Amino acid sequence: ELGLYSHFMQKEIHEQPQAVAATAEVFLDGGFVPENFGSNAREVFQSINSIKILACGTSYYAALTAKYWLESIAKIPTDVEIASEYRYRDVIADPQQLVITISQSGETLDTMEALKYAQSLGHCHSLSVCNVMESALPRASSLVLYTRAGAEIGVASTKAFTTQLVVLFGLAVTLGKLRGHIDAEREHAHTEALRQLPGSIQHALNLEPQVAAWAQKFAQKSSALFLGRGIHYPIALEGALKLKEITYIHAEAYPAGELKHGPLALVDENMPIVVIAPNDALLDKVKANMQEVGARGGELFVFTDLDSHFEAAQGVHLIRTPRHTGALSPIIHSIPVQLLAYHAALARGTDVDKPRNLAKSVTVE
């Protein structure tokens, strides 16, 4: 079943061009139409005033990324919450809010209970983004769109995450179009971006030898910091989670602008710092944040795309990711952080597919 691969995680990382292409097909063949999400989705999408996304772990980071798309492309106020927190607090119900749950397994207990709680409060519109057909969450939701990642066996989620992002991007474009925020030209640009995505992911996968060389250094460390800004901040969070889960190295992620409000105190020459820094509107801000770190002796490992005018320097290592892919850039930058964690785990000899203390599907509280 593993074929040429050593681990399911490695296989699943490399399956992402096909998994993403299969998931994107819904929008590429059928267009950005509400019916992709269910026969009554048009009516629901026209009536909602806001979105709440509930999820856990990596699926929660997909939700954080989606918030940027839903607000910038679809112009719908979107709020994201960890399911295990939502289910235990006093929530102000809003029947015009669409509640989205995101789950690879569709069986995560906290996410399921959060959905039931929302429904008990009178939230009637629910959408499930899920990878397992007919699992608990899609069965309990009025609308559903499945990711087509195929079975994910490695405990650390990889292809489920990037395919969730494809569905959520498609949702944002669908809502933006339906609600009159996207003209034909923009829609065409989004379609083309989605069409080219699998190829760009393949280019990112080709960086594996360079990323593996970095990973040897990380394997020696006891701690690492991940930085990003804007839509790349959730990818920094995901990178830190992947590293923690499979290497047991302590890792934290921060929006780079928060450094001086505390975490800068952690930085010295023993602290590797991963920066997700593609050429977007925030690049100059990120560069300034990097100088703050560099001045304290921190070693910087920067993922930046071909368009950014960055130079490697003393204490600054660069890997160039494929040419900037606009709104889909977070999907591309998921790949190198997955590879970094995978190769650091290999170097440390941990059980990559079955990290200690973790289960693939968390059906207990």
Catalytic residue list? 360
Q: Are β-strands 50-55 and 78-82 bridged in parallel, bridged antiparallel, or unpaired?
A: parallel
Question: Min. distance of Cβ 9 from ligand F6R in angstroms?
Answer: 9
Cα 150 from Cα 159, distance rounded (Å): 9
Q: Are β-strands 50-55 and 250-255 bridged in parallel, bridged antiparallel, or unpaired?
A: unpaired
Question: Min. distance of Cβ 53 from ligand F6R in angstroms?
Answer: 12
Shortest Cβ contact with ligand F6R: which residue?
A: 57
Residues that bind ligand F6R (CB under 6 A): 56-59, 103-105, 108, 111, 156-157, 241, 245, 361-362
- Whichever of 108 and 325 has its CB closer to ligand F6R, that residue is 108
Task: Decide: helix, strand or coil at residue 141.
Answer: coil
Question: Min. distance of Cβ 285 from ligand F6R in angstroms?
Answer: 29
Alpha helices by DSSP H, the chain: 8-14, 16-30, 41-47, 57-72, 83-86, 109-120, 136-140, 159-178, 184-205, 208-218, 233-247, 283-294, 329-348
Structure token digits, residue 352: 């990559």
Cα 170 from Cα 22, distance rounded (Å): 13
- Whichever of 58 and 304 has its CB closer to ligand F6R, that residue is 58
Question: Min. distance of Cβ 46 from ligand F6R in angstroms?
Answer: 29
Strand partners, 299: 272
- Residue linked to tokens 């280019």: 203
Task: State CA 54 to chain mean position distance.
Answer: 14
Question: Min. distance of Cβ 155 from ligand F6R in angstroms?
Answer: 6
* Structure letter (DSSP) for residue 298: P
Question: Min. distance of Cβ 110 from ligand F6R in angstroms?
Answer: 8
- Whichever of 54 and 227 has its CB closer to ligand F6R, that residue is 54
Cα 363 from Cα 106, distance rounded (Å): 10
- Whichever of 104 and 174 has its CB closer to ligand F6R, that residue is 104
- Whichever of 126 and 308 has its CB closer to ligand F6R, that residue is 126
217, 244 Cβ separation under 8 angstroms: no
Tell me the DSSP string of 65-128.
Answer: HHHHHHHHTS---EEEEEHHHHTTS-----TTEEEEEEESSS--HHHHHHHHHHHHTT--EEEE
- Whichever of 93 and 133 has its CB closer to ligand F6R, that residue is 133
